[in-house]
Structure 1
Amino acid sequence: MKLAQYAVIFWTLGLLAAAELALEYRAHARGWETLLFGGPTYSELPVDSPFGPTPDYPFRSRIVPREKPPGVLRIWVASASYGEHIFLPADQIFPVVLEDELRERGFEVQVLNASRASLTARAAVRDLELVAPAWQPDVALMYHLSNDLDGLTARMLAVRADEDAEVVIASERAETLAPTAEAAHHEGQAPWPTRQARRTTLYEQAKNQIGARLTPARMLRDQVPDEVADVFEARAADFIDAARALGAVPVLVTFATSHPPGDPDLFPAGYRRNLYRHNGVLSVAGWRAGAADWNRRLARLGASSGTTVVDLAAAVAGHSEFFIDFVHFTPAGHAQVARTLADALAPVLEELRAR
């Protein structure tokens, strides 16, 4: 091969490396894990910032001592990126605003914001079991759905020909957060260069941007099967049990979206692409119908188990001014979420305070 031909290869590799470096720096600055820069980080906080997280305080909320002061009620908020929202100042996200709202109503409360991007309801249960006991929450609130809907449908509906659907369902019902042995086996078969390539930001961007545009050409499902919804309901029931095992009052929250089923507004193209980036199995109608069904299941579970259910979907869904995308809130949205939660939590806290 001539030197000029090598030059083309080297220039191509160099451009790809430069693009990868730029994309990884951008992703790292936005709080995502990358191959070169490692795990997610928050923007630099002032030394005297009253908010976490810090090495000793894992919550994105006001820093409080581990030991709970007498007369104080602690609220554990288990959510995902909707509650963490690292692109907003901490004092604008709903867990922190909720604390402010309840204090204005005369309640001595501390909110522990255990929300982290990409978490599922199953991870929320594990956090309650492993992390929460040291912090002694009096109320444990769960606001999850979209990550479970995306993850469960991807795993349970996109079943390979060599997998048994019943085995997949059983593995998703399991308590462990580790990948199934079969999934680990298949991942281990991939060559090391392939596994590393999949970790690059270039790969993720190409998969997301190109895949989101190709997904609508597939045969997408317009309905989430009951057996998939059963797993999410089981996770919510596990959260209730884990909270009560701690001596905390469990609270479930229905999931709100910018465009619920039946919304007459045209579903924005950008929202559609973003939904397909995370879910390549369901149609938009299927996703929205599935979320509505899962919210109904939360309400039924609350009624059958004697658990408070906050119907956040009824309060904020469909209000475009409250959303920056399909599922994440604007500052005004966070404020409305906090008010809605405070209205529902006030009688719960009154009862706890009277004990």
Structure 2
Amino acid sequence: MKNSAARTFYQYLIIAVSVMLIIETGLEYRHYRLGYDTPIFGPQPEQSKPTQKNDTVSKYGPAKDFPFRSEIIPTEKNNNLRIWIASASHAYGGRVPPDKIFPNAICERLTPPIPCQSINGSDNGMTIAGNIRLLRKYAPLYQPDYAILYQMSMIISDQQRQLTQGTTSSQQTSNSIMDFSPAVKLFESLSLYVHLSDYIGNNIKLRGNLKERLPEAMDQDFEENILTFIQACRELHIKPVLTTFALSHDLSNIDEMSRTEITNFVKYQAYLSPTGWIKTINHYNTLMKKIGTEQGVDVIDVGQALNGKPNYFIDYVHFTADGHHIIAQVISDTLNQILAQEPGRDI
């Protein structure tokens, strides 16, 4: 009887492991096809990188001597208008082709057409401090006339990390003779583990004590970030332009967010509930306009054009190609008005 029970147990174990391997292989293949390195299929080959495929893409950076995801331009400016975009992954575009992301589509929409070049000073995970460091390093070389700031979610994410530091501990102790950490690290890199841990962990977060607003003390931190950017631009003789921030859903349609969208949201937001995050963005958008008025800086209201329109978003903050088209048009329309007021410029 014991042998029969053991045999049955191992049969079920083999079936379970086989099913997990099949699911994992499918997930890994999907991720590999999307351009990610995976434990099973390995790293992406160099020749598969978009910049190696065709002339349309290869004329865009980043390149060895041009660290921007925009059309490669010389350092000689001549009489061209140059626009610097300071942002994060929102402007970098991810899998959206470089000729479709909004920083690279602004100049072509200026009316009447004028010689104009865009510099996409954005990168995944880049904060305002990172935007400023990049601007200070390269602005003297490329001499942008305007620097447009599209940043907000990174500030709020940093503020949430400040508020949640020390609430959890990642320290682990072990008296085991054998070191299983390499096996654990490999297991944690598997797609199946990531999907399960995200689903379980994020649903636990949603049942936790997520807040409806950041503490009011964070308002000053936000304002200081924006003022530091404005000051850096002025020191570099660049005209700063601010923008409000856009979200896929607003308070009128937050209930339409799918469960997957919500769990993906709390994966990156450790303090605020989805509703609280929207309220915080709305509040900071109001502060952004206030700062613009007080500092004499133009503010482009991107949020008004795109908030609550999920068909223009890949997730709750990143744009589809159509979303990039809309934000490029909104920015260009406002720039047309700004340029028309410049003395000596025939627009």
Q: Normalised by the shorter chain, which TM-score bucket?
A: 0.7 to 0.9
Residue 216 of structure 1 deviates from its aligned partner by 0.8
Residue 293 of structure 1 deviates from its aligned partner by 0.9
Residue 92 of structure 1 deviates from its aligned partner by 1.4
1:300-319 aligned within 5 A: 300-319=290-309
Q: Which of the two has higher C-alpha Rg?
A: 2
Residue 93 of structure 1 deviates from its aligned partner by 1.2
Residue 349 of structure 1 deviates from its aligned partner by 3.0
The match for 1:323 among 308, 313, 322 is 313
Distance 2:76 2:171 in 1: 43
Which SS does the other structure have where 1:295 is aligned?
A: helix
1:155-166 aligned within 5 A: 155-160=161-166
Aligned residues: 327
Distance 1:73 1:42 in 2: 31
Distance 1:264 1:206 in 2: 25
1:1-355 aligned within 5 A: 30=34, 37=43, 42-46=49-53, 48-49=55-56, 50-68=59-77, 70-102=78-110, 104-153=111-160, 155-160=161-166, 193=181, 200=189, 202=191, 204-263=194-253, 266-351=256-341, 354=344
Distance 1:197 1:147 in 2: 29
Distance 2:30 2:339 in 1: 42
Q: Show CA shifts across 1:249-305 (max 9, x none).
A: 101110011212344762332321221111132111111111111111111111111
Which SS does the other structure have where 2:217 is aligned?
A: helix
Shift of the 71–312 alpha-carbon distance from structure 1 to 2, 3 Å rule, reads same
Distance 1:292 1:141 in 2: 19
Which SS does the other structure have where 1:111 is aligned?
A: strand
Shift of the 206–121 alpha-carbon distance from structure 1 to 2, 3 Å rule, reads farther
Q: Show CA shifts across 1:178-227 (max 9, x none).
A: xxxxxxxx889999948966983556545433322221111111111122
Distance 2:131 2:124 in 1: 12
Residue 350 of structure 1 deviates from its aligned partner by 3.9
Q: Which amino acid aligns with 2:70?
A: S
Residue 354 of structure 1 deviates from its aligned partner by 2.4
Distance 1:188 1:138 in 2: 52
Does the aligned pair in 1 maintain the 2:254–2:275 contact within 8 Å? no
Q: Show CA shifts across 1:87-139 (max 9, x none).
A: 1222211111212112x532211001122222222221221122333221111
Identical-residue share of aligned pairs (%): 30
Q: What residue ranges of structure 2 are gaps of 5+ in the alignment?
A: 1-6, 8-12
Which SS does the other structure have where 1:233 is aligned?
A: helix
Distance 2:81 2:43 in 1: 38
Q: Which amino acid aligns with 2:189?
A: T
Q: What residue ranges of structure 1 are gaps of 5+ in the alignment?
A: 164-185
Which SS does the other structure have where 2:55 is aligned?
A: coil
Q: Which amino acid aligns with 1:257?
A: L
Which SS does the other structure have where 2:293 is aligned?
A: helix
What residue in structure 2 maps to residue 171 of structure 1?
A: none
Shift of the 26–59 alpha-carbon distance from structure 1 to 2, 3 Å rule, reads farther
Which SS does the other structure have where 1:51 is aligned?
A: coil
Residue 332 of structure 1 deviates from its aligned partner by 2.2
Does the aligned pair in 1 maintain the 2:51–2:60 contact within 8 Å? no
Which SS does the other structure have where 1:328 is aligned?
A: coil
Which SS does the other structure have where 1:251 is aligned?
A: strand
Residue 31 of structure 1 deviates from its aligned partner by 5.9
Distance 1:304 1:343 in 2: 23
Q: Which amino acid aligns with 1:200?
A: S
Q: Which amino acid aligns with 1:84?
A: Y
Which SS does the other structure have where 1:114 is aligned?
A: strand
Q: Which amino acid aligns with 1:317?
A: N
Distance 1:345 1:215 in 2: 42
* TM score, norm. by length of structure 2: 0.79
RMSD: 3.7
Does the aligned pair in 1 maintain the 2:121–2:135 contact within 8 Å? no
